């Protein structure tokens, strides 16, 4: 896909992709309920639609009326006679490993595309195996296909040496069906959607310290109440158009109906440190804080980022584009997690920025970018939707060609449509 430079734009965007993390969670968490759940604005992208297919294979009844999706959980989870295909979604696979490991008497096989089946699952499977789960796979249950023999687990006291919402949620889902209470600690607070949503559904997950890094999970005594929700727009998806407003002079964008959870808008806070004027307006607080974000472009200044990395890990490829357009040297550190995403994102970012004539230094846990005038280049996406979208946004400034742009559909099916809406010229 080729994109041509754009001088500037002003836009109000309402049809940004629905939140992917929240969509996955509402689909999987519906299996814990009694009654019929109603989900409005569910993300209809490849990854999240695969999750619906999986819960259907596990026995859930799913209906759709165009705007809403209705899910009725089965009385008990059944062992399907098919492989459960997670597509490209590490979130779906890791959360389901946790959930299914505690389904007593069940047998399940999880797999995905060639990219997902090369991503490490040990960060979830090993903690679960250490508390008695029966999980098998290539490379010692590290690589999919993953086979799970569900069983009733004991309560546990587990300390994680990484801050990962996927690890935390997988352990929470296993603990909800355990024989007794469980405890989970992480080194810093990771994204906390699961605790917020599950508690509002009627689960009992308690914070044991003010940092909210130590939690107690009480087993479910009964099924949770069915929910009726509207999925907010994804701040990670909205961020691409915030970035566009930052790197194109005299541009402004208002992003509507966006999730404003503090663990999800850290990348916007980094843009503020770089000199961008951003305002937030909370509209409602249902399951989460939701509102609008207004971004006005300004000359970007360099910044060093080494804290709250777990809160902005998905936006770092886009932040790298901001760094490339800023005055001075910017740095990301403590982000080794980027090595195990849809691609090795540190290598993907460094290689592609260098192709654009930007000076970059690679570290094991991050990179340093010296801002400059990027030039048009042919970019390798490595099948990674966030790499593809980030460099298409850079293309608004200097023109760009991105290979394998089909991967964008895994998370943001109308991304190209919105690019055209703000005035971008796109061709094959």
DSSP of 248-260:
STT-EEEEEEEE-
CA–CA distance, 116 with 82 (Å, rounded to integer)? 18
Annotated binding-site residues for phosphoenolpyruvate read: 20, 90, 119, 166, 345, 386
CB 402 within 8 A of CB 395: yes
CB 124 within 8 A of CB 170: yes
Annotated binding-site residues for 3-phosphoshikimate read: 20-21, 25, 164, 166, 314, 341
SS3 209: coil
| Angle at CA of residue 164, ends 367 and 28, nearest 5° | 130
Q: In 10 A of CB 312, how many CB atoms? A: 25
Active-site choice (286, 314, 404, 428): 314
Annotated binding-site residues read: 20-21, 25, 90, 119, 164, 166, 314, 341, 345, 386
φ/ψ of residue 294, rounded to 5:
-110, 125
CA–CA distance, 168 with 370 (Å, rounded to integer)? 35
CB 28 within 8 A of CB 96: yes
| 47 belongs to the catalytic site | no
Q: Which positions are catalytic?
A: 314
């Amino acid at each position: 896909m080729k994109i041509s430079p754009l001088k500037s734009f002003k836009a109000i965007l309402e049809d940004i992709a629905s939140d992917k993390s929240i969509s996955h969670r509402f689909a999987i968490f519906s299996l814990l309920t009694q009654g019929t759940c109603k989900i409005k604005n569910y993300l209809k992208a490849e990854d999240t639609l695969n999750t619906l297919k999986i819960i259907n294979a596990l026995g859930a009844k799913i209906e759709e009326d165009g705007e809403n999706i209705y899910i009725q959980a089965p009385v008990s989870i059944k062992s399907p006679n098919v492989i459960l295909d997670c597509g490209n979604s590490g979130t779906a696979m890791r959360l389901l490993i946790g959930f299914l490991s505690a389904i007593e008497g069940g047998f399940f096989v999880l797999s995905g595309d060639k990219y997902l089946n090369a991503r490490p699952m040990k960060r979830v499977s090993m903690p679960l195996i250490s508390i008695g789960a029966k999980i098998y796979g290539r490379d010692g249950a590290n690589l999919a296909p993953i086979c799970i023999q569900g069983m009733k687990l004991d309560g546990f006291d587990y300390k994680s040496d990484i801050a990962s919402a996927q690890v935390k949620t997988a352990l929470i889902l296993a603990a909800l069906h355990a024989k007794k209470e469980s405890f989970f600690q992480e080194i810093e607070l990771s994204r906390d959607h699961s605790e917020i949503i599950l508690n509002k559904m009627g689960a009992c997950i308690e914070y044991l310290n003010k940092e909210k890094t130590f939690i107690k999970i009480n087993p479910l005594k009964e099924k949770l109440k069915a929910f009726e929700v509207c999925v907010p727009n994804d701040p990670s998806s909205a961020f691409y158009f915030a970035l566009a407003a930052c790197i194109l002079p005299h541009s402004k964008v208002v992003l509507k109906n966006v999730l404003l959870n503090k663990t999800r808008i850290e990348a916007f806070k980094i843009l503020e440190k770089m000199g961008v004027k951003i305002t937030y307006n909370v509209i409602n607080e249902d399951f989460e804080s939701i509102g609008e974000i207004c971004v006005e472009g300004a000359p970007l200044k360099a910044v060093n980022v080494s804290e709250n990395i777990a809160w902005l890990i998905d936006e770092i490829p886009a932040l790298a584009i901001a760094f490339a357009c800023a005055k001075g040297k910017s740095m990301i550190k403590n982000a080794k997690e980027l090595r195990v995403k849809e691609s090795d994102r540190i290598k993907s970012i460094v290689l592609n920025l260098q192709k654009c004539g930007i000076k970059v230094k690679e570290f094991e846990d991050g990179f340093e970018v010296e801002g400059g005038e990027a030039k048009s280049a042919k970019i390798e996406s490595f099948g990674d939707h966030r790499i593809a979208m980030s460099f298409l946004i850079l293309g608004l400034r200097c023109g760009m060609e991105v290979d394998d742009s089909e991967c964008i559909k895994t998370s943001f099916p109308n991304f190209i449509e919105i690019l055209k809406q703000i005035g971008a010229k796109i061709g094959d």
